[in-house]
Structure 1
């Protein structure tokens, strides 16, 4: 019998970790609990928000990028938010500390703004312990483990389920006609950190929209101060 040289087997061996299941996924309840804890204990984290299926011309946020400070009393955010305001697409710099927000628009100065007047959520609320991203994870139901996939140089364990509308509505200030939303999470198995969260449902009446939250740099030093 002809034997294949060892070197010929190397490409196959290199592919196996990326394609096989490897270690067994953590039980869904344990994974959700750990993901919530890791997020709410992170201190600081980087966030990238994106969307798909957003109705054309609809006021609201389409994407955001920035750093958040996770806290129960005074969560904070600093970064760029892109969306549609009064039918006009725009990208603005936002500083949010607790319930107060400031916006820099066509200027280097930051001025107070009520985000709800713009049809947009206060981004600091994504980082509030007990009602932010962590709470969406905590209230997820019917969660099942899926495949492991590679996201850049990180392998993530996927979980799918649903979440009652209220925590999503409270976070996004959207979806008043929805009863539930479908969720898909990507969790880094080693740390238990939530890295991606896809939330899909009727954010806008009669339309199916997906918002994707990407999280990274857990534990980073994030200091956000109100503008002078």
Structure 2
């Protein structure tokens, strides 16, 4: 009977560890203020040699062009190499993109090689700007208005501590150009057990007359040795 009780206790402990992600803290966030946690996450992002980024939305504008996603590697050269998904004239296009040295190169539909482009003409940001310490991803962390810890959630084998607040449209626009400068955007940041930004969710009006839209950004594979060159 004692042996069975001990075994049950172990099982319950494991289940609680797997599912109990309430309002606790991880080692990276325990005892730290919201500002300290977000400042450390910004520092880690800015110092990383590289990070893999995925940006996505399940929504699509009823009219006009917009960026729907991005999937690639970001470095602090700054540079980006990957694919950007945009809607052009009502059709989705997944475009291979390399951005480096202030120039953006894309392999557009029906073109056999990379050509220099102005991404704003396609409703897209310069993805290398995501690495900018001021106007990029990490710059958002310390500009989150009303930032507060909101709880924890499980993301695969990671337990993320989440922080919520709002961002003004002018701050979101360099990341998602269809953001409205006059609006505010509900934002949730997920910080992993190493104190790094792992997820970013931004919700608000991105497409005119289409209601709220959700963009999710995930960050993985921090600090890999990656070399990005112009095509």
Same fold (TM over 0.5): yes
Asked if 1:90 corresponds to 2:96, the answer is no
Deviation of 1:113 (Å): 1.1
What's the CA shift string for 1:61-120, capped at 9, x where partnerless?
1111100012xxx41100011121122211110001142111113444111111111111
| Counterpart residue number, 2:115 | 111
Checking the alignment, whether the CA contact within 8 Å between 1:175 and 1:205 is kept in structure 2 is no
Q: Residue 46 and residue 161 in structure 1: after superposition, are their counterparts in 2 closer, same or farther (change >3 A)?
A: same
TM-score by length of 1: 0.89
**1:111 & 1:157 partners in 2: Cα distance?**
41
SS of 2:175 mapped into structure 1:
helix
Q: Which of 29, 42, 47 lines up with 2:48 in the alignment?
A: 42
How far did 1:204 drift?
A: 2.0
Determine the structure 2 residue equivalent to 1:33: 39
1:68 counterpart = 2:74:
yes
The range that moved more, 201-210 or 23-32, is 23-32
Moved over 3 A (4+): 20-26
Equivalents in 2 of 1:154, 1:56: separation in Å?
36
Alignment of structure 1 residues 96-135 onto 2, 5 Å: 96-105=99-108, 106-135=110-139
Structure 1 regions of 5+ residues with no counterpart?
Answer: none
Assess if the C-alpha contact under 8 Å between 1:196 and 1:215 holds in 2. yes
Q: How does 1:133-148 map to 2 (within 5 A)?
A: 133-148=137-152
Contact 2:80 2:127 in 1 (8 A): yes
Is residue 2:15 matched to residue 1:15?
A: yes
> Structure 1 residues 122 and 157, CA, compared in 2 at 3 Å: closer, same or farther?
same
| Local SS of the residue matching 2:195 | coil
Tell me the equivalent position of 1:192: 195
Root-mean-square deviation (CA), in Å?
1.9
Is the aligned partner of 1:226 residue 2:220? Answer: no
Name structure 2 gaps, 5 residues minimum: none
Distance in 1 (CA, whole Å) between partners of 2:17 and 2:151 is 13
Q: Deviations over 1:14-69 (max 9, x none)?
A: 01223054444732111111111111111211001111333245411111110001
Question: Which structure 2 residues correspond to residues 172-211 of structure 1 after superposition, within 5 A?
Answer: 172-189=176-193, 191-206=194-209, 207-211=211-215
Superposition TM-score, scaled by structure 2 size? 0.88
